[in-house]
Amino acid sequence: MTKTPPPVILTGDRTTGPLHLGHYAGSLQNRVALQHTHEQYLLLADSQALTDNAHDPEKVRRNVFEVALDYLAVGVDPAVSTICVQSLLPALAELTLLYLNFVSLARLERNPTIKDEIRARGFDRDIPAGFLCYPAAQAADITAFKATLVPVGEDQAPIIEQTNEIVRRLNRQIGRDVLLEARALIPRVGRLPGVDGRSKMSKSQGNAIPLSASDGEIEEAVRRMYTDPGHLRASDPGRVEGNVVFTYLDAFDDDREAVAHLKARYQRGGLGDMALKSRLTDVLKALLGPIRERRSELKRDPDFVMDVLRKGTRKAQNLTAETMAEVREALGLFDLRAS
């Protein structure tokens, strides 16, 4: 009996900066856990990064390597996961161009993720066409790898929905299921808030803890962390909800019982912010220390990292070109081999 092949996962990150704790809680942990039971592809999404960073291609290029370091440092194993560079996969661009004919401009403009991102970036009336159309490009990413599972943050769910709409329209046009629909795999923990507690963790907001943070940087970030503004003395009762320190302990402290105890003490009164923060500092140092060390080891061995990217990209080139060929043929585009 032939074994059924493992489900295919594709996910990726725009290469606009090194990854941070929010990425770790949201998706990196998931990827490390899933890589042994799934066929996993990780896309260094430099083309997509250009859709809102065309003014700074140097940043986009530099961060391809940085994000690759982050992947490897957290435990993505290149022996089982494939890491590849988006802009080096021409089939993705070809598929994107086809898919743009199976989605309307109005539908792209209605995508809630795109709407939010346009607002956040202040694009207003000057939206790069590539940006508006990136859901079609992401549909190309996902379908080119024949992925059925896409681990992403909650905010990306509408992009996956739109991918599936394109898939259905194309399949309907062709008359059979050439492309596969995919499911978003949303992490159980919600978005990790930034250290200021105001919004999600993001480098551009200056409220992020990078995976490469030093012990000193961890201490400083936790010291600045938002707690309960009404909790002035250690003896005062404090609030746990909306208290970023507890949100982080919930996300990263494996000793659930100890955290439950701390919460009870904090709510009752008798636990100071200093003592509370000192526990989180220890937890984060223990988590990030080994990641930082592995990251700097890898940084000293760029040949190894480049080799991983070269092999991964080559494999992805073959796979995505195959899908493109299948779609060409299924759509019945002109073929020079036929007469």
Binding site for ligand TRP (CB under 6 A): 10-14, 43, 45, 48, 138, 141-142, 150, 152, 156
104: which 2 tokens? 């309307």
Residue closer to ligand TRP (CB basis): 156 or 212: 156
By C-beta, is 120 or 189 nearer to ligand TRP? 120
Instruction: Write down the least CB distance from residue 119 to ligand TRP, Å.
Output: 15
Nearer to ligand TRP among residue 14 and residue 292 (C-beta): 14
User: Is 292:284 a contact under the CB 8 Å cutoff?
Assistant: no
**Least distance CB 63 / ligand TRP (angstroms):** 12
Q: How far apart are CA 88 and CA 316, in angstroms?
A: 9
Q: Which is nearer to ligand TRP, 45 or 327 (CB)?
A: 45
**DSSP strand pairing (39-45 vs 8-14):** parallel
SS3 at position 40:
strand
42 touches 11 (CB < 8 A): yes
> Between residues 137 and 195, which has the closer beta carbon with respect to ligand TRP?
137
Cβ atoms of 75 and 115 closer than 8 Å: no
How far, in Å, CA of 75 to CA of 294, rounded? Answer: 9
H or E element that contains 314: helix 302-331
The least distance separating ligand TRP from the CB of residue 156, rounded to whole angstroms, comes to 6
Closest approach of ligand TRP to the CB of residue 300, in Å: 28
By beta-carbon proximity to ligand TRP, the closer residue of 207 and 227 is: 207
The least CB distance from residue 34 to ligand TRP, in Å, is 14
Least separation in angstroms between CB 80 and ligand TRP: 19
At residue 141's C-alpha, the angle toward residues 176 and 143, to 5°, is 15
Give SS3 for 83.
strand
The phi, psi pair for 95, rounded to 5°, reads -65, -40
